[in-house]
Structure 1
Amino acid sequence: MKNDLERAFEEARRRDAIELEWLGASIQGRPTFAEAELLDRRGIPSCHVWKIPRNEAPVHLTAIDALRRWQAGACAMCSASPRRLLVDHCHRTGLVRGLLCTSCNTAEGLQSAPSFVAYRERPPAVILGVEEMYGSPWGEEIAPSDASPEERTQRNAAHVDAAEGLFAGITDRFRPECADG
């Protein structure tokens, strides 16, 4: 009889094989950071030229796990491979869009450049056909997936209001009109 550890290793190998089959050659031949800069100038996010797996994501993967496997440590906008990628999400719907480096995640919220518009219209989650609600830092979903659009909007607005209230005293110090002198 197999012990629990042997069964766990077998299951891990089985899942790895399923994921490798799903990914196929999709992570090969991706643009370099320099090539991604050229794409950006043409209004194309890096992930829009990546190969897409032929089948649906394996059922044992959450949407974020599927994004992590497919993106393989590369930012969806610039193809950089930093130590850490951030989970980007839509603040209106609460849905996860993809994984971005710190620079692109910051710029995404401030940019209306064509490549960011294209990324928002067709993010990696849409490309892979996966959907997941972004969780709040307090361990809850921003808006549950079964919430109506009105409930999502209200709940997301409450989170934004709470964040603004929390950081108001801090951010005011950085506004030019608040500076001493």
Structure 2
Amino acid sequence: MTAAEALEEVRLRDAVELEWLGTTTEGRPTFAEAELLDRQGVPSCHVWRVPDGEVPPHLSATQALRRWQAGACAMCNARPERLLVDHCHRTGLVRGLLCTSCNTAEGLQSAPSFVAYRERPPAVMLGVKEMYGSPWGEEIGPSGASPEERIQRNAAHVDAAEALFQGVTDRFRTGAA
């Protein structure tokens, strides 16, 4: 492929993405409005317009989330320098992009807005599925494992971690050494 052909391919993909996104990123709530939504148990992304049609085939799930979220945290609508890829520790599936504060809180919170986010994350809203991977582009888990095996393994690890954490917190509550 020549440089001119590659440049034309990029222009075509950009046009497809712009058509898919349309005006979905316009009119989103401000950070202050997102705080009010949170108090009502609504994550910010639940009031965003979802693009019509299928995600362009050249985009991975994470790329589609990055385009649609346009730099905004799915929970609080903040626009930090970078967003973290949030994923379900039981299934290993990517859920959406969160700021550092919301990503940390998501693992510790049972507030209604976080419950709603987990039930209908941005990936579900867009109809995309992707296993969470390492920073080096590898899927987490042994190679050759089926999706069902990865989900079972991830669930077992989460269950073990929760049991360990519960034991630690119980000792703090009772004062046992």
Aligned to 1:7: 5
TM-score relative to the length of structure 2: 0.84
Aligned to 1:126: 124
Q: Which runs of structure 2 are paired with 1:60-139 in the superposition (5 Å)? A: 60-137=58-135, 139=137
Between the aligned partners of 2:64 and 2:147, the Cα distance in structure 1 is 26
Cα distance change, pair 32–11 in 1 and its aligned pair in 2 (3 A): same
Between the aligned partners of 2:14 and 2:137, the Cα distance in structure 1 is 28
Total equivalences in the alignment: 165
Tell me if the contact between 2:90 and 2:158 (Cα under 8 Å) persists in the aligned partners.
Answer: no
Aligned residue among 23, 37, 40 for 2:38? 40
Q: Specify the SS of the correspondent of 1:107.
A: helix
Between the aligned partners of 1:6 and 1:25, the Cα distance in structure 2 is 30
Cα distance change, pair 138–8 in 1 and its aligned pair in 2 (3 A): closer
Query: CA offsets per residue over residues 112-140 of structure 1, 9 Å max, x none?
Result: 00000000000000000000000135653
Show structure 1 runs of 5+ residues with no match.
165-171
Show structure 2 runs of 5+ residues with no match.
162-167
Cα distance change, pair 139–70 in 1 and its aligned pair in 2 (3 A): closer
Between the aligned partners of 1:68 and 1:109, the Cα distance in structure 2 is 21
**Identity score, percent:** 75
Tell me if the contact between 1:142 and 1:159 (Cα under 8 Å) persists in the aligned partners.
Answer: no
